[in-house]
Structure formats: structure tokens, C-alpha cells
Amino acid sequence: MSKPALRFLALGFLISAIVLAGYRSFIYESQPTTKDSASSKTTKPSEEELLYKEKYEKLLAETEVAELTKENEASSSDVKPEEKPEEKPVEKPVEKPVEKPVVEPVKPAVTKATIVVNDGDPGSVAVEQVKNQGIIKDSTEFENFLEQNDYISFIRPGSYELTSEMTYEQIATTLMGR
């Protein structure tokens, strides 16, 4: 390229830079207002979200009250059979069948829980939720079971109903959505 061609090219770049700077400083100010409105939309939950939140809190409170009521009833029923053996040993000292009903309420005390696996959650989060809900006793044992059978990568997002009566295989099958 010749010297005059390079000068005109440089002059073209200079004029373009000045035009773009002027456009940005004087005309292109509408962008900050859109950022402000977008940030206000994300911080204010909609009425529908507030309604769902209220319903969730009510449901959570009801389930907690129901669980406490069941625990109180279970503890009351545990106390009553214990009182009866204390009264009856005077009449019949061999009243051990009363102790069996104390053991039987422990078996029917099946823990039912809803586990929610969100999109992008690792399998370990689901395993911890299962343990925290009382479905399983040892999270590391269950996680090892999932890894040995290559189930850990197949856990799908969703909401799952689990009980403490389920085996590891049944829990894994449920969490995989099968």
C-alpha cells in the first residue's frame, strides 16, 4: 500500500471511532434503564410465586404438626403398654406379650418422604436428602451401592415418593425414574 492509502485508512478508523464514541455517549443510554428494570424484576417475586410460597409454608407447617402429633401418639402408646405391665405383673408375672406390641409399633413406623432432585444436582445431594428424611441410615453405604451398580449417574431430576421399607434397589430405581 502506498503512503496516501494508509493515511486515508487511518483517517477512516479515526472517524469511525469518533462516530461510535458519540453514539455510545449520547444516543445509547437506554441500556442502563433496562438493566435497572431487569434487576427489579428478579428481586421482586411475582404474586404467583408468593402464593406458591405461602401454600408451601402452610403445607410444611401441617406436615410438621402431623409428624409431631404422630410422635406424641406413639410415645403415648409406648407409655401406656409400659404402665400395663407394671400393673399386671402382680396378677400374672409372665406378661411379656405386652412388650411385643411395643416392638410392633416400631416396625409400622414407616417413614414416608418426598425427595426433590433439582436439575444439575449431583447424586450425592439426592443421597443426603434420602438420609436426612430418615429413609436410609447410612448415606455412604447407599452411595457406594449406587456407584457399584453405576446408578449414580442415572438419577434424574424430579420429585419422588420414598418409604423406609424400600430396599436400596427400589430406592435407586425410583430415583432413576423407572
At residue 78 the predicted structure's pLDDT band, cuts being 50, 70 and 90, is low
pLDDT in the model for residue 75: 78
pLDDT in the model for residue 87: 47
Residue 123, φ and ψ in degrees, nearest 5: -60, -30
Question: For residue 103, is pLDDT > 70?
Answer: no
pLDDT in the model for residue 12: 97
Task: Write down the residue that cell numbers 451401592 correspond to.
Answer: 145
Task: Write down the residue that cell numbers 438493566 correspond to.
Answer: 35
Q: Topology of domain 112-175, per CATH?
A: Dna Ligase; domain 1 (3.30.1490)
- Domain assignments of the chain as residue spans, ordered by start: 45-109, 112-175
At residue 2 the predicted structure's pLDDT band, cuts being 50, 70 and 90, is very high
Kindly state the average pLDDT of the residues 140-149.
Answer: 88
Question: For residue 114, is pLDDT > 50?
Answer: yes
Question: For residue 150, is pLDDT > 60?
Answer: yes
Kindly state the average pLDDT of the residues 22-38.
Answer: 62
pLDDT in the model for residue 43: 61
Question: How far apart are the C-alpha atoms of 40 and 80, rounded to whole Å?
Answer: 58
Question: For residue 11, is pLDDT > 90?
Answer: yes
At residue 42 the predicted structure's pLDDT band, cuts being 50, 70 and 90, is low
User: Up-side HSE of residue 97: CA atoms within 13 Å toward CB?
Assistant: 1
Task: Write down the residue that cell numbers 406436615 correspond to.
Answer: 63
